[in-house]
Amino acid sequence: MGLAVFALAGCKSGPPPVPLEQLNAQQMHGHAVFQARCVQCHNDRRDKPLHGPPMVGVFKRPSLPSGAPANDERVKATIVHGHGLMPGMGNTMDQQDLDDLLAYLHTL
């Protein structure tokens, strides 16, 4: 019974995020960027909405909450240009930070 519940929950939420201590240098830097730029509005490792949807499993699902495909292009465009109530950050985030952030989001 306990096992069945566990299996069901696992199926719904997919594999868990890679533990922080197993991240490589680029992913660690992406985590720092997330803490600085995203954490006030998004949970990264908890499946709970904040101001925006949680980021856990963002690339493990076929689509983003808006229904757009969950791929690098779409997520980068969201960060650079914003989306709905989310402000765009294209002018204040350099390419390296953006790439590292994407690498981190892929571990969630």
Q: Is 48 in the site for ligand HEC (CB under 6 A)?
A: no
- Per-residue x/- track, 79-98, ligand HEC (CB under 6 A): x---xxxxx-x---------
Please state whether 57 falls in left (phi above 0), alpha (psi between -120 and 50) or beta. Answer: left
> Could you tell me the smallest distance in angstroms from the CB atom of residue 25 to ligand HEC?
19
Rounded to a whole number of angstroms, the distance between the first and last alpha carbons of the chain is 28
| Cα 88-97-53 angle, rounded to 5 deg | 50
| Binds ligand HEC (CB under 6 A): choice among 23, 28, 52, 57 | 52
E runs forming strands in 3-85: 82-83
CB of 58 to ligand HEC, least distance (A): 6
Q: Which of helix, strand or coil describes residue 97? A: helix
Q: Residues in the site for ligand HEC, rule: CB under 6 A? A: 37-38, 40-42, 51-53, 58, 64-66, 68, 75, 78-79, 83-87, 89, 101
